[in-house]
Amino acid sequence: MSRPNYGWLQGTTVRKSGITSSSSNATRSSTPQVQSTSSTVYGGGVKDPSGRTAEYFSMDDQCPVCRSDRYLNPKLRLLVSSCYHKMCESCIDRLFTLGPAPCPICQKVLRKLAFSPQTFEDLGVEKEVAVRRRLAKEFNKRREDFDDLRSYNDYLEEVEDIAFNLINNINVQETEARVATYKAANAALTALNLQREEAYALALKEQEELDRKEREARAAQLAHEQQLEREEKEREQREIIDKLETSQKDARQVVAKSRANAAKRLAAVSGSGKPSGLAAVGFGFGADYAKLLKTRTTGKKASNSVPDEPHIPLQDEWYAYDDLFVFKDGYDDVVSEAVRKDREGIMRAGGYMVEEAWQRALRSAVAGLDISPLEGLTERGVPEPTGPVDSGTDVVMVSV
Amino acid sequence: MQDPSPPPIKKPLYEGSTQFKNWRYSHSRLAQIRSTLNEAAVSVIRTTFEAYEPGSSANVTFLTADEESLLVTFYATMITQICGRFRFPEEVEATAVSYLKRFYLKNTVMDWHPKNVMLTAVFLATKTTNNPISLEVYTSHIPKASASDVLDLEFLIAQSLGFEFAVWHAHRALWGIWLDLQSLPDTTSNSEATRSPVYTSAVSHVRSSRLTDAELVYTPSQVALAALSMADRDLALKWLKSKQDKLRSDADHSPNIMESIDNITNLIRKHGHAPDVEAVREVDRRLKLCKNPEKVVGTKAYLARQAEEDKKAEDRRIRKADVQKEATTDGDPFGEVLARSKPGLVDYDDDDDD
């Protein structure tokens, strides 16, 4: 097997030495520039999530065919052929306008439309991404499609083998044949999985849409409520003024009464009206989504996994002799005197609490008080009869 | 019935400890372990002697099991001295003594001299009880001890202990009893000063209990109570009485506790003192002659053993290198093809019918 050789893939793109490039260059290269002398629209390239292609661009670019570089031609734009060789747009125009022609570097027959913009500095990466994209379309089986993990892993390894071969040009013919065989054999499943993917993407999109609608509904309702409130307030104020004008009552009493009324109304609104509307909206969407998730996660085959509960020693139920002693708040104790009298708390720095030490001592004072010794009970005894002799790890003389 | 099985569902904390599960013996069991260990050791060492110098074992008197434990007890007292010199807390000392005793239930003095084991046991105990000290400081304060002396045995000891480092101590139980005495209704009137000598003497009894097998047979609280009863029997009885009705309801347990405590008291009175230095010296002198020659640096047996081990290690190394070489030259760096034959691509349409 030959070692993959990337040397030719990299063309003459000398790696950008960031330190040596001048600051003016750096600012220029950071601004997105797409310079095209040709009217041809080139497809391909790796798109970012927003659907745009970020083209790779370097100040050291040089066309390996005509040797023109960015210094001579600031509008130089290098494109990548399907055999992963770079050349400038003018060379492409010159060589391939009259129809298919051999690549000047590897002699593979190329067409003008087979060129695509470069996304990654390293053409090896460019190629790998392209190959993997292509394979992902065909090899889209999932874990659920296999009976056990073993066969799934075998499948993944197979896919990885194929990808590796294609990327590094190892047995290309044979590998392509394998891909074709697979494609023929699994057309139905592939299509199905494709549909599933699309359905999932669609569901996600729907969910996003629902979320957005919910947010909008909530905002509208909030605005509506605020509007109502404002109107109410204005009406109240008008009422107060009317009353003050017409009635003979004390002004302060009138104001207080209407205030109380307003407070009552507000409480009624916040207590009942607001949540019910929103809850109904949110609930409807939430339930829908939950159902969707559920249908996705429950596979065809019921998982027969055994719950593996870890043992947490802190949750063990131990009898700690608590009924055998009464813990007092303080003790007349010589042993711990130094710790308790330590004013700066240096001895208690690590979180030492004399109460805990006392408690431990009290526990051990009553622990096992009623355990009888093993005298005369050797058969039932806890130590294994052979233990001390056989399991002694270094009792060499016994084992000889 | 003396079944210490726990009351409903909840298991008492002490019965979950490794000390209860793996380091609890009866007196007769202890004696049996020690004698079988001693016999096995003697026979192995005798064959080793014979293998290198036929007839040389005829006039060697090997140590008996009792002599072995005498030596261990003596070095347990040395632990007290060392810990006193470093001002380690009592917990370190008690833990180290426990380690020493437990170690010699699985190994023999004739293989590993307690002088070295003791040093490592103390160092290990400082770490397991969270009182760490640097190895340099530790060895620099002990005459004729090097860092490797301490470290060489560390794993061996940890292994012999079964990596069970937590020990429940009698001195802590004694402290607890002493605190709990203040909950008794009629003793609260006593001032601290009048009780202090009682506590001091009880602590000293706990310390001497470390030289006996008490901790391997009885629970720490029983040992502590026995120590207290040696200092002030009435006080101990009063405390026990206050607990007794709360302990398990079966009445037949109560005499057992008192009996155990009397047994411990006798044990401490009888064995709880440092062994006679002259006797120890005599045993130690004989130990020099009957040590396992494979473990004594410089002897023929040691060299032979060393060579054998080197050879084994070399073999292992070669084998490992071979395996590695095979793996690299075999082409596929990810190992052999998996045992099951891989299904070809075409086989995948089995899954088509979902």
Q: Is the pLDDT of residue A376 over 60?
A: no
Report yes or no: A31 and A57 within 8 Å, Cβ to Cβ.
Answer: no
Q: Which residue among A373, A388, A400 sits closest to B33, beta carbon to beta carbon?
A: A388
Q: What percent of chain A has pLDDT over 90?
A: 13
The count of residues in chain B is 354
- A395 contacts B292? CB cut-off 8 A: no
Q: Are residues A17 and A106 in the same domain?
A: yes
Q: Is the pLDDT of residue B219 over 90?
A: yes
Q: Which residue among B4, B224, B243 sits closest to A324, beta carbon to beta carbon?
A: B243
pLDDT category of residue A223 using cuts at 50, 70 and 90:
very high
Amino acid identity for residue A375 in this structure: E
- A319 contacts B13? CB cut-off 8 A: yes
Q: Name A214's Cβ contacts closer than 8 Å, sequence gap at least 6.
A: A281, A282, A285
Report yes or no: A88 and A33 within 8 Å, Cβ to Cβ.
Answer: no
How far is B212 from B226, CA to CA, in rounded Å? 13
Q: Which tokens is A85 given?
A: 């060789």
Whether residue A96 lies inside any domain: the answer is yes
Question: pLDDT per residue over B133-176, tens digit each?
Answer: 999 999 999 988 889 989 999 999 999 999 999 999 999 999 99
Higher pLDDT pick, A397 / A214: A214
Q: Is the pLDDT of residue B209 over 70?
A: yes
Task: For chain B, list the domains and their CATH numbers.
Answer: 14-167 (1.10.472.10), 170-271 (1.10.472.10)
Across chain B, mean pLDDT equals 84
Report yes or no: B111 and A396 within 8 Å, Cβ to Cβ.
Answer: yes
Of A75, A90, A121, which closes a domain? A121
Q: Are residues A116 and A220 in the same domain?
A: no
Amino acid B19: pLDDT: 94
- Give A387's contacts in chain B (Cβ within 8 Å): 22
Of A270, A297, A324, which closes a domain? A297
Whether residue A28 lies inside any domain: the answer is yes
Least confident of A5-9, A335-339, A374-378, B305-309: A5-9
Whether residue A85 lies inside any domain: the answer is yes
Give this complex's ipTM. Answer: 0.79
Q: Are residues A105 and A33 in the same domain?
A: yes
Q: Count of CB atoms within 10 A of residue A214's CB?
A: 16
Report yes or no: A245 and A260 within 8 Å, Cβ to Cβ.
Answer: no
Higher pLDDT pick, A12 / B299: B299
Q: Are residues A152 and A117 in the same domain?
A: no
How far lies A274's CA from each of A89, A124, A256, A263, A286, in Å? 64, 59, 26, 16, 19
Q: What percent of chain B has pLDDT over 70?
A: 84
Nearest by Cα to A167 from A126, A106, A201: A126
Interface of B with A in 213-252 (CB under 8 A): 217-222, 224-225, 243, 246-248
Q: Which tokens is B337 given?
A: 């093809």
Q: What phi, psi does B304 have (nearest 5°)?
A: -60, -45
Q: Which tokens is A250 given?
A: 């004390």
- Give B224's contacts in chain A (Cβ within 8 Å): 365
The DSSP call for residue A328 is -
Q: Is the pLDDT of residue B117 over 50?
A: yes
Q: Are residues A156 and A221 in the same domain?
A: no
Q: Name B95's Cβ contacts closer than 8 Å, sequence gap at least 6.
A: B125, B128, B129, B165, B167, B169
Amino acid identity for residue A361 in this structure: A
3-state SS assignment for residue A120: coil
Q: Are residues A41 and A75 in the same domain?
A: yes
Higher pLDDT pick, A258 / B287: B287
Report yes or no: B175 and A361 within 8 Å, Cβ to Cβ.
Answer: yes
Q: Is the pLDDT of residue B70 over 80?
A: yes
- B40 contacts A395? CB cut-off 8 A: yes
How confident is the model over B247-260, as a mean pLDDT?
66
Amino acid B254: pLDDT: 54
Nearest by Cα to B239 from A362, A150, A198, A398: A362
Exposure string for B207-224, b = 16+ CB within 10 A, e = fewer? bbbbbbbbbbbbbbbbbb
How far is A321 from A342, CA to CA, in rounded Å? 31
How far lies A211's CA from each of A49, A199, A215, A219, B63, in Å? 21, 18, 6, 12, 87
Question: pLDDT per residue over A259-298, tens digit each?
Answer: 787 778 777 766 554 444 444 444 445 455 555 555 555 5
Higher pLDDT pick, B132 / A119: B132
- A318 contacts B219? CB cut-off 8 A: no
Q: Which tokens is B74 given?
A: 């003596």
Sheet with A86-88: strands ordered across: A86-88, A78-80, A116-117
Contact A335/B at CB under 8 A: yes
Amino acid A268: pLDDT: 73
* Strand pairing category for A109-110 and A116-117: unpaired
- Give B175's contacts in chain A (Cβ within 8 Å): 335, 361, 365
Q: Which tokens is A280 given?
A: 């109904």
Higher pLDDT pick, B314 / B341: B314
Q: What percent of chain A has pLDDT over 70?
A: 70
Q: Where are the beta strands (DSSP E) in chain A?
A: 78-80, 86-88, 101-102, 109-110, 116-117, 318-319
How far is B281 from B287, CA to CA, in rounded Å? 10
How confident is the model over B210-216, as a mean pLDDT?
93
Question: pLDDT per residue over A138-150, tens digit each?
Answer: 888 888 888 888 8
How far lies A384's CA from each of A239, A261, B1, B39, in Å? 95, 85, 21, 19
Q: Are residues A94 and A179 in the same domain?
A: no
- Give B163's contacts in chain A (Cβ within 8 Å): none
Amino acid A305: pLDDT: 55
Terminal alpha carbon distance of chain B: 65
Q: Which residue among A326, A360, A395 sits closest to B183, beta carbon to beta carbon?
A: A326
- A319 contacts B10? CB cut-off 8 A: yes
Q: Are residues A93 and A21 in the same domain?
A: yes
Q: Which tokens is A141 given?
A: 């089986």
Q: Which tokens is A370 given?
A: 């009623």
Q: Are residues A11 and A115 in the same domain?
A: yes
Nearest by Cα to B216 from A222, A295, A375: A375
- Give A383's contacts in chain B (Cβ within 8 Å): 22-25, 29
Across chain A, mean pLDDT equals 74
Nearest by Cα to A320 from A377, A374, A359: A359
Amino acid A284: pLDDT: 47
Which of B18, B179, B198 is most worth mutating to test chain A (most A CB atoms within 10 A of its CB)? B179
Nearest by Cα to A354 from A372, A333, A325, A368: A333
Q: Are residues A11 and A116 in the same domain?
A: yes
How far is B7 from A325, CA to CA, in rounded Å? 17
Nearest by Cα to A79 from A38, A50, A107: A38
Q: Are residues A17 and A100 in the same domain?
A: yes
Which of B34, B48, B172 is most worth mutating to test chain A (most A CB atoms within 10 A of its CB)? B172
Interface of B with A in 109-128 (CB under 8 A): 111
Amino acid A35: pLDDT: 43
Q: Which tokens is A374 given?
A: 């093993």
- Per the structure, the complete domain to which residue A249 belongs is given by 216-297
**The domain spanning residue A107 has which CATH number?**
3.30.40.10
Amino acid B267: pLDDT: 92
Structural domain count, chain A:
3
3-state SS assignment for residue A53: strand
Among A183-192, A208-217, B5-14, the range of highest mean pLDDT: A208-217
Complete DSSP assignment for A136-196: HHH----GGGSSSHHHHHHHHHHHHHHHHHHHHTSSHHHHHHHHHHHHHHTHHHHHHHHHH
Amino acid A222: pLDDT: 94
pLDDT category of residue A160 using cuts at 50, 70 and 90:
very high
Question: pLDDT per residue over A10-35, tens digit each?
Answer: 443 333 333 333 334 444 444 444 44
Contact A182/B at CB under 8 A: yes
Q: Which tokens is B232 given?
A: 């002030």
3-state secondary structure string across chain B: CCCCCCCCCCEECHHHCHHHHHCCCCHHHHHHHHHHHHHHHHHHHHHHHHHHCCCCCCCCCCCCHHHHHHHHHHHHHHHHHHHHHHCCCHHHHHHHHHHHHHHCCCCCCCCCCHHHHHHHHHHHHHHHCCCCCCHHHHHHCCCCCCHHHHHHHHHHHHHHCCCCCCCCCHHHHHHHHHHHHHHCCCCCCCCHHHHHHHHHHHHHHHHHHCCCCHHHHCCHHHHHHHHHHHHCHHHHHHHHHHHHCCCCCCHHHHHHHHHHHHHHHHHHHHHCCCCCHHHHHHHHHHHHHHCCHHHCCCCHHHHHHHHHHHHHHHHHHHHHHHHHHHHHHCCCCCCCCCCCCCCCHHHHHHHHCC
Contact A311/B at CB under 8 A: no
Contact A186/B at CB under 8 A: yes
Higher pLDDT pick, B242 / A248: B242
How far is B109 from B2, CA to CA, in rounded Å? 35
Higher pLDDT pick, A9 / A133: A133
Q: Are residues A109 and A143 in the same domain?
A: no
Question: pLDDT per residue over A306-364, tens digit each?
Answer: 566 788 877 778 888 888 888 888 888 878 888 888 888 888 888 888 899 999 999 99
How confident is the model over B201-226, as a mean pLDDT?
94
Whether residue A316 lies inside any domain: the answer is no
Q: Is the pLDDT of residue A8 over 50?
A: no
Q: Is the pLDDT of residue A396 over 50?
A: no
Question: pLDDT per residue over B275-290, tens digit each?
Answer: 999 999 999 999 988 8
Amino acid A16: pLDDT: 37
Complete DSSP assignment for A234-247: HHHHHHHHHHHHH-
